[in-house]
Amino acid sequence: MSVARSILAIRTALHAGRLTPHAVIESALVAISQHNPSCNALVHVASESHLLSEAAEAAERYRSGTPRALEGIPVAVKDNFVTSDMPTTCASAVLEGYSSPFDATAVRSLREAGAIVVGKANMDEFGMGSFNTNSVHGAAVQPGSEGRVAGGSSGGSAVAVKTGMALAAIGSDTGGSVRLPAAYCGIVGLKPSYGSISRFGLVPYANSLDTVGVLANNVADAALLHDILAHPDPNDMTCLPAPPSTKRNLRRPLTIGVPAEYNQVQLDPAVRDTWSRALTAFEAAGADVVPVQLPSTVPALAAYYVLAPAEAASNLAKYDGVRYGRARDMFGDEVIRRVLVGTFALSAGAHESYYVHAQRLRRQVVDEFQAAFAHVDAMVCPAALTAQAPTLDEVKHPRSGGSEYVTDVFTVPASLAGLPAVVVPAWDGVGLQVLGKWGDAAMVLDVAERLERMVVLGDDGGVDGEGWAEF
């Protein structure tokens, strides 16, 4: 955890007067000028005068002793959240130049908490992709000469946080679109329980799966943003009337589940070694580590790629050049591919064989998680098959067909079940995933924070088994 990139540390410095909002925004602007030309993380950047004006307003609040929770903190917003002061294109030519008359609820919540939105983040077109290469603005890539992709579809948000363009960002997670970029970029990515954060103003990909997620440099910052964003919203009928509690309350003895189906043949040995090291560390810290069975893990991927495209085909029908969008523009290849798949799955001749069957499999995934969580408090597993993201060239010229879709195999099950999940960078930068029961963000965040501490302090976190009590 970098103190220089910690919202909580920066907020403390701002309160003490050791740092000014102007300096914080200037630092973000420097990072944008240094990294954005090569990384392509932000596709729309707020004007410098506007950002410095908001920093001046934040400074006045600190002087008057009335700062809000995120006062003066620079954040990035994925380009599928509507904003009233910047275009919203969903990385698609179809929506080029579109400006919304209002802010999405999540954006409004951030602004009401004092956050300063520095820009809109790159993404796969309409959220469809695992590498952030399906964008009309071009691919988002990580800094460095290797040209590794950021992961998708919230790749721009992840790179913005990784490079210091923003101290946190929001993205959308439909089948892993927050968690996969977090794993590849070495930051924290939180997908809360479905329904805990309002989707109002989030341009939909698949309504029953889309979840507002958070990307940050550490678990505490992710938890802070989650607490700010998770509240009822009458504009979203799927938003919970009361948010799940994030009060720290670990039960002991803690039991960590290990899904055997995630130990796949294709798993990178470096990922497997890091996963094993984490489980050993949890045992050393006093937790019980037990195997759990999730037999529908692999079939779940196929179900997802029927259900999500089916919902996308319905959602994107409005972009006909009359109601929305520009008639002379076309969707990108990946969007067209998924719309065609979804349309076929919903057709009269295929509906029962594909769509209905996929819904039954989704129910099976939910049941398997419920059965497993009757015996464990949380699960710890890999977030991606590989320790590193592929290069842009490897994505453009894959060794095998369909490799992009297989990338989501560890993230899709939690999405189908609507469960909270958070990715934490572990040893050697390998991203590990913590899964929890629906609505139990507290447990997921606590276990993730514990893992984070173990990585920073050593295998046992510097405490014995009684250390769980400190949370």
pLDDT tens column, 368-386: 999 999 999 999 999 999 9
| pLDDT digit string, tens, across residues 377-421 | 999 999 999 999 999 999 998 876 667 889 999 999 999 999 999
User: What is the phi/psi pair of residue 204, to 5°?
Assistant: -75, 145
**Cβ-contact 258, 279 below 8 angstroms:** yes
Grade residue 452 by pLDDT with cuts at 50, 70 and 90: very high
Residue 253: cis peptide before it, omega within 30 degrees of 0? yes
The yes-or-no answer on residue 84 being catalytic is no
Grade residue 128 by pLDDT with cuts at 50, 70 and 90: very high
Which of these is catalytic: 6, 109, 130, 153? 153
Residue found by looking up tokens 């890539």 in the block:
141
The span from the CA of 310 to the CA of 302, in Å, is: 13
pLDDT of 14 higher than 90: yes
What percentage of the chain has pLDDT greater than the value 70? 93
Question: How much is the pLDDT for 2?
Answer: 37
Question: How much is the pLDDT for 4?
Answer: 57
Grade residue 271 by pLDDT with cuts at 50, 70 and 90: very high
Residues 6 or more apart whose Cβ sits within 8 Å of residue 417: 362, 365, 366, 369, 438
In 3-state terms the chain splits into helix, strand, coil percentages (rounded to 5) of: 45, 15, 45
**Cβ-contact 108, 119 below 8 angstroms:** no
What percentage of the chain has pLDDT greater than the value 90? 87
| pLDDT digit string, tens, across residues 145-168 | 789 999 999 999 999 999 999 999
Question: And the tokens for 25?
Answer: 């925004």
Average the pLDDT over 349-371 and give the result: 97
Which of these is catalytic: 154, 172, 177, 415? 177
| pLDDT digit string, tens, across residues 180-206 | 999 999 999 999 999 999 999 999 999
The yes-or-no answer on residue 177 being catalytic is yes
pLDDT of 467 higher than 60: no
DSSP secondary structure string, 198-254? --TTBPPS-TTT-EEEEEESSHHHHHHHHHHH-S--TT-TTS-SSPPP------SS-
Which of these is catalytic: 78, 162, 191, 437? 78
Tell me the fold of 7-457: Amidase signature (AS) enzymes (3.90.1300)
| pLDDT digit string, tens, across residues 55-68 | 999 999 999 999 99
Grade residue 470 by pLDDT with cuts at 50, 70 and 90: very low
Question: How much is the pLDDT for 464?
Answer: 37
Question: How much is the pLDDT for 327?
Answer: 59
The yes-or-no answer on residue 78 being catalytic is yes
Question: How much is the pLDDT for 191?
Answer: 98
Residue 173, classed as helix, strand or coil, is: strand
More confident residue, 328 or 227: 227
Average the pLDDT over 441-452 and give the result: 95
The span from the CA of 459 to the CA of 136, in Å, is: 44
The span from the CA of 48 to the CA of 128, in Å, is: 31
Question: How much is the pLDDT for 322?
Answer: 77
Question: How much is the pLDDT for 323?
Answer: 73
DSSP secondary structure string, 282-321? HHHTT-EEEEE--TTHHHHHHHHHHHHHHHHHHHGGG-SS
The span from the CA of 87 to the CA of 94, in Å, is: 13
Q: Which residue ranges make up each domain of the chain? A: 7-457
Average the pLDDT over 99-126 and give the result: 98
Average pLDDT, rounded, for the chain: 92
